Amino acid sequence: MTRTLPLLLLSAALTGCSMKTARFVPYASGPARFSAEVPEDWTAIENPAGDVPGVQFLAPPEKGRKAVRPYISVDFYARDSRQPSLEAYLAQQTRERPGRSAGAVGERPVGSGTAKEFTATQPLPQSPEFAPNGTLTVRTLLLPAASGFYELCYAAAEPDAPAPAAAFQRFLASFRAR
């Protein structure tokens, strides 16, 4: 324990330092009706036309590693879309399924609203592109909006989840529905 504490403190300090020097840029999505700050070296991929309006931000790939890249995603569900309500979507997403478990639902302030928050875990996909073993952790926030709701997600493979999580914190702090 006494040997690991200095290593944990050093790791936390290095993670904090790397996020302090990371550059964030504003991003605005017309179709998904939001703006937020994202790390400038993350790749933005808009959802295809005809799909739910949204975007996924992928962390840069790590050299020499075949692993799931951490990502942040935003999807906007209008009241007239496939999901009838935030509550129905929450019930669907938090029910237990084989190989997937969801934690307790809590609340968290995001911008000027309050989001429903839960974390789900599932095994990593098994293919040559991904790590052979491990768990994917997806933290989800459902934020009500005047004309629907947002699904804000942060996903990362364990044990990589904590490092880019600071990017998600900054994203949430700067998130504005439009």
Domain that holds residue 51: 25-177
Model confidence pTM above 0.85? no
Residue 4 lies in a domain: no
Residue 18 lies in a domain: no
Residue 90 lies in a domain: yes
Angle between helices 4-21 and 162-174 (to 10 degrees): 40
Query: Quick count: other Cβ atoms within 10 Å of Cβ 175?
Result: 20
* pLDDT score, position 173: 92
Residue 160 lies in a domain: yes
Mean per-residue pLDDT pooled into runs of 10, the chain (178 residues) = 35 41 90 94 94 94 75 91 79 86 91 90 69 79 92 85 80 92
**Three-class SS of residue 167?**
helix
* pLDDT score, position 97: 84
* pLDDT score, position 96: 83
Residue 53 lies in a domain: yes
* pLDDT score, position 11: 38
* pLDDT score, position 101: 87
Structural domains counted in the chain: 1
Domain CATH number, residue 121: 3.40.1000.10
Residue 9 is classified by DSSP as H
